[in-house]
Structure 1
Amino acid sequence: MRFLVRLVINAVAIWLAAEWVSGIEIASSGRGQGWDVVVVLFIALVFTVVNAAIRPVVKLLSLPLLIVTLGLFTLVINALMLWLTAWISQATDYGLTISGFGAAFWGALIVSLVNWLLGALVPEHSRR
Structure 2
Amino acid sequence: MSALLGALARGRARAEALMTDTCRIERATGPRVTGPDGQSTQPVETVYEGKCRLQSRGDWSAERDIGEAGLVMLRTELQLPADVTFKVNDIVMITASPTQPANVGSTFRIRSEFVKTHGTMHKGILIDPAG
Higher relative contact order structure (alpha carbons within 8 Å, sequence separation ≥ 6): 1
TM-score after normalising by structure 1: 0.24
More strand by share: 2
Which protein has the larger Cα radius of gyration, Structure 1 or Structure 2?
2
TM-score after normalising by structure 2: 0.24
